[in-house]
Amino acid sequence: MVAYVVDAVRRAGVRRPLVVVGPDSGSVRTALGDGVDFVVQREPRGSGHALMQAMPRLGGGAVALVVNGDMPLVSPETLRALRLSVRNGAAAAIAAGTPAETPPYGRIVRGADERFLRIVENADATPEETAIREVNAGFYCVRVAEMAQALRRIRPANRQGEYYLPDAVNVLATDGREVAVVSVSDPDELAGVNTRADLSAVDAILRRRVLERLMAAGVTVLDPVTTFVDDTVKIGRDTVLHPGTFLTGRTVIGSGCVVGPGARVHASTLGARVRVWDSWIEESRVGEGTRIGPYAHLRPGTVVGRQVEIGNFAELKNARVGDRTKVHHKSYLGDALIGTEVNIGAGTITCNYGLDRRKHRTTIGDRAYIGSDSMLVAPVRIGRGAATGAGSVVTKDVPPRRVAVGVPARVIRSLDGAEQPPRRAKVLAGGRRTGERSRVRANR
C-alpha cells in the first residue's frame, strides 16, 4: 500500500522519499527496498509527531511534501499542484475534496470569503462542523522552517491524545500565514485504508484503473470483473485476456497473445503471439508463437523457445526448451536442457534428484525422440537425433542417432539402419568352499 504512495511522490519529482515507520517495520523496509530513507517513530503519537521525527532530516530551507501512507490512490498531479502553491508564496498547501459520501476525515472550515480558517478533526468536530462536506485529503506541502516552528506550538489536547499535523497547519493560518487549498478532482484519491473492507474497495479501484489503461492501449479484456492485473504488468497491443486471468509481479506479455481463461502468470515474460490457457507460469520466459496448456505448470527458471507446444499436465522446472519442441502430455521435466524439434512422449520424467540429495541435469539433443513413459535418470545425456523406447529407464548416455530400450535401457540399433551387436561381459562366479572360480559369459 505504501509503495503506491512512494511511487506517486517520486513521479511528483521527489528523488528520495523519507518514510516514517514504527519500530517493528521490517516488512515495510523490505517491500520498499533501497530507494527510500527511513525515520523511526518510537511511539504512535499522531501525524504531527511523525513529522516531528522527520524534521531533522528535511533541512531548514526545504519545501516538503507530506502524504499519509495509507492513501494509495493519491495522484502525482495533486502533489505537483500542492508544491506549486507553496512555490507561489503559501506557507502550506493542503488537498481537499468533497466526496459523495463524507468519510470520517477532518473538515475544512472556511471563512465568509472562502479563505481557509482551520481543519477540525472528525472526532473533535461540533455537529455544525460535522455537517461540512469538504474534507481534508491528508496530502500537504509545507515550508519546512515555518512548519518546524508551528509543530513546536501544538499540544495533544484532543480526544485521541495525539499531536495532529492539521493543528500545525491551523497555527500557520492563525498567525496570518497563507494556507492554500488545492481541490482534488478525482474523489477516489480521498480513499484511505483503515479496515480490510477499505483495502478491498481501494484494490478494486486500482484494478479498474489498470484495466482501463490497458484497454485504452489496445488490450482486449473480455471480463474485467474476473481479470486481475497488477500495475507492474506490461502488455502489448492486440493481446486478449480471457476471464479468470491473473497477471502479477513484473510480468511482460507481448503483442497478439491470448491469455486465459484460467491463466496465472507471475513475474514472467511472454513473447508475441503466445497462447496460454488454464495454466500457471511463474518466473519463466516463453518465446513467441508458443502454446501452453491446458493445465501446464512452468516453475521458476524455465525458458521456453519459439513455437513450442506444452500441453496437458506438463510440469517444467528450471528447464530450457528449444524451438519447435513438443511436450504434450503428463510429463515432468526438471533441471533439463532440451534441444530444438524434440518430441517428449507422454509420461516422461527426468529423475533429477539423486541418492546424494542433489539435483542433476538431463540433456536432450536436437530432434531427439523420447518414447512414452521414459524415465531419464540424471545425470544423463540423450544425443542428437537419438530415441528411447516406451517405458525405458535410461541410466546411461545414449549416443546420437541411436535407439535405447529396456529397463535399464540399452542401445539396440542405430537410426541409420545398422543393428547394434550385443555387448558381452565376463562375470566371475566364486565357488562355495574351494575358492575356485569359473568364467560365465552373460549379455550385459
- The pLDDT score that the predictor gives to residue 119 is 94
Q: What percent of the chain has pLDDT over 70?
A: 93
Question: What burial letters (b/e) apply to 373-407, b meaning 16+ CB within 10 Å?
Answer: bbbbbbebbbbebbbbbebbbbbeebbbbbbbbee
The grid coordinates listed for 174 are 492563525
Mean pLDDT of the region 156-168? 89
Between strands 228-229 and 320-321, the pairing is unpaired
Beta-ladder partners of 179? 92
- 421 — pLDDT class (breaks 50, 70, 90): low
- Give the 3-state secondary structure percentages of the chain, helix then strand then coil, rounded to 5: 20, 30, 45
CA pair distance 152, 428, nearest whole angstrom: 96
- The pLDDT score that the predictor gives to residue 415 is 86
State how far Cα 66 lies from the chain centre. Answer: 27
The grid coordinates listed for 190 are 480521498
What are the pLDDT digits (tens) for 352-389? 988 888 999 999 999 999 999 999 999 999 999 999 99
CA pair distance 368, 341, nearest whole angstrom: 8
CA pair distance 234, 216, nearest whole angstrom: 13
What are the pLDDT digits (tens) for 184-235? 989 899 999 989 999 999 999 999 999 999 999 999 999 999 999 999 999 9
DSSP of 100-164: SS--SPPEEEE-TTS-EEEEE-GGG--HHHHT---EEEEEEEEEHHHHHHHHTT----STT----
CA pair distance 329, 82, nearest whole angstrom: 59
CA pair distance 359, 381, nearest whole angstrom: 15
Mean pLDDT of the region 315-341? 97
- The pLDDT score that the predictor gives to residue 442 is 30
Q: Are the C-beta atoms of residues 351 and 366 closer than 8 Å to each other?
A: no
State how far Cα 349 lies from the chain centre. Answer: 30
Give the Cβ contact number of residue 276 at 10 Å.
30
End-to-end CA distance of the chain: 66
- The pLDDT score that the predictor gives to residue 433 is 40
pLDDT higher than 70, residue 439: no
pLDDT higher than 70, residue 431: no
- The pLDDT score that the predictor gives to residue 444 is 31
* Of 202, 263, 199, 252, nearest in space to 228 by CA: 263
Length of the chain: 444
CA pair distance 170, 386, nearest whole angstrom: 82
The grid coordinates listed for 48 are 504531527
Q: Which residue has the cell 499531536?
A: 163
Mean pLDDT of the region 77-87? 95
Phi, psi of 422 (to 5 degrees): -65, 135
Q: Are the C-beta atoms of residues 329 and 348 closer than 8 Å to each other?
A: no
The grid coordinates listed for 332 are 515432468
Reduced to 3 states (helix: H, G, I; strand: E, B; else coil), residue 435 is coil
* Of 238, 257, 20, nearest in space to 247 by CA: 257
The amino acid at residue 41 is Q
* Domains assigned to the chain: 2-190 (3.90.550.10), 219-426 (2.160.10.10)
Q: Which residue has the cell 472556511?
A: 110
DSSP of 66-84: EE-TT-TT--HHHHHHHHH
Kindly list the catalytic residues: 329
Geometric angle at alpha carbon 63, from 60 and 66, rounded to 5°: 110
* Rg, Å, the chain Cα set: 33
Q: Is the previous residue joined to 379 through a cis bond, with omega within 30 degrees of 0?
A: yes
Reduced to 3 states (helix: H, G, I; strand: E, B; else coil), residue 167 is helix
What are the pLDDT digits (tens) for 17-51? 999 999 998 899 999 988 899 999 999 999 999 99
Find the helix or strand (DSSP H, E) in which 96 lies: strand 92-97
* Of 178, 141, 177, 157, nearest in space to 51 by CA: 141
Q: Are the C-beta atoms of residues 74 and 8 closer than 8 Å to each other?
A: yes
